[in-house]
C-alpha cells in the first residue's frame, strides 16, 4: 500500500493556510525533520542517534531507493525523522538525488538538517547555498567535528551562521557530542516557521 495514498497532493498541502495546518496537526501528523547531505557524511549515524530504536526502512514509491524514517523526541515533542538518500545537488543526476529532491518538495519538512563533513566544509557548501536559495527551514550540521579538531581544523560556527543566515551546529554524532544543542535548534527553527 502506498504510504501517501490517503494524503492530499503535495501542492495542496504546500499552499494550505493556517486552518488546514491546524487540521493536519489535529489529525496527528507529526512535524518532519529531514536529513540531507552528500554520501558518507554521517547522516545515518546522526539519524540513529536522533531516533533511537524505532526505525522503518522502505523503498520510496516507484523506486528501489531506500528511505529510512523514525521518530525522535525534541523538547518534549515527537517528530518524524527522515534520512534521505545522499545528494550533491538539488539538480538531480542520480535516482538517489531525484528521490531526495522529491522528498523535500513533496513532504515540505518543518526543518532540514544539512549534514556535512566538517573536514571538507568548503566542498559541501554549494549544496548549502542551494538549500538556502530554495527557502527551506535549514540548519547546517557540522558533523565529524572530533576528527576535524584532531586535524587542527577550527571553524567559527557563530561567524559562519551569521554569514549564511542560518543556524550552524557542530556535532560528533558517533560520540553523541552536540546532539542536545542540535535538538534545541530544531525546536527553535520549527517554532519560528509555525
User: pLDDT 10s digit of each residue in the chain, 194 long?
Assistant: 344 444 433 333 333 333 434 444 444 689 999 999 998 899 989 999 999 855 555 555 555 577 889 999 988 899 999 999 999 999 989 888 998 999 999 889 999 999 999 999 999 999 999 999 999 999 999 999 999 999 999 999 999 999 999 999 999 999 999 999 999 999 999 998 77
Q: What are phi and psi of 162, to 5 degrees?
A: -65, -40
CA torsion through residues 58, 61, 66, 71, sign: negative
The three cell numbers of residue 103 are 522528498
Predicted pLDDT of residue 76: 87
Measure CA of the first residue to CA of the last residue in the chain; give whole Å: 31
Predicted pLDDT of residue 53: 59
Taking each continuous run of H as one helix and of E as one strand, the counts in the chain are: 8, 7
Q: How far apart are CA 194 and CA 189, in angstroms?
A: 9
Domain boundaries, the chain: 33-76+89-193
Predicted pLDDT of residue 116: 97
Global pTM reads: 0.81
Rg (CA), the chain: 16
**Residue at grid coordinates 549564511:** 164
Q: Which residues pair with 139 in a beta bridge?
A: 113
Q: What are phi and psi of 128, to 5 degrees?
A: -60, -45
Q: Which helix (H) or strand (E) holds 126?
A: helix 121-133
Predicted pLDDT of residue 15: 34
Q: With beta carbons less than 8 A apart as the criterion, state whether 80 and 69 touch.
A: yes
Q: How far apart are CA 173 and CA 98, in angstroms?
A: 26
Which DSSP category does 172 fall into?
A: B
Fold of 33-76+89-193: Rossmann fold (3.40.50)
Amino acid at each position: 500500500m502506498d504510504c501517501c495514498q490517503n494524503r492530499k497532493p503535495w501542492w495542496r498541502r504546500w499552499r494550505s493556510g493556517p486552518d488546514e495546518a491546524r487540521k493536519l496537526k489535529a489529525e496527528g501528523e507529526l512535524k518532519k525533520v529531514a536529513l540531507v547531505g552528500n554520501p558518507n557524511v554521517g547522516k545515518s549515524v546522526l539519524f540513529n542517534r536522533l531516533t533511537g530504536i524505532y526505525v522503518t526502512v522502505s523503498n520510496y514509491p516507484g523506486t528501489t531507493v531506500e528511505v529510512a524514517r523514525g521518530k525522535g523526541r525534541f523538547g518534549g515533542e515527537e517528530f518524524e525523522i527522515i534520512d534521505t538518500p545522499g545528494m550533491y545537488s538539488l539538480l538531480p543526476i542520480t535516482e538517489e538525488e531525484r528521490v531526495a529532491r522529491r522528498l523535500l518538495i513533496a513532504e515540505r519538512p518543518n526543518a532540514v538538517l544539512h549534514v556535512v563533513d566538517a573536514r571538507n566544509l568548503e566542498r559541501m557548501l554549494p549544496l548549502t547555498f542551494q538549500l538556502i536559495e530554495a527557502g527551506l527551514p535549514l540548519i547546517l550540521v557540522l558533523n565529524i567535528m572530533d576528527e576535524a579538531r584532531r586535524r587542527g581544523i577550527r571553524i567559527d560556527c557563530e561567524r559562519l551562521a551569521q554569514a549564511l543566515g542560518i543556524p550552524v551546529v557542530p556535532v560528533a554524532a558517533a560520540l553523541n557530542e552536540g546532539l542536545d544543542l542540535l535538538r534545541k535548534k530544531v525546536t527553535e527553527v520549527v517554532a519560528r516557521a509555525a
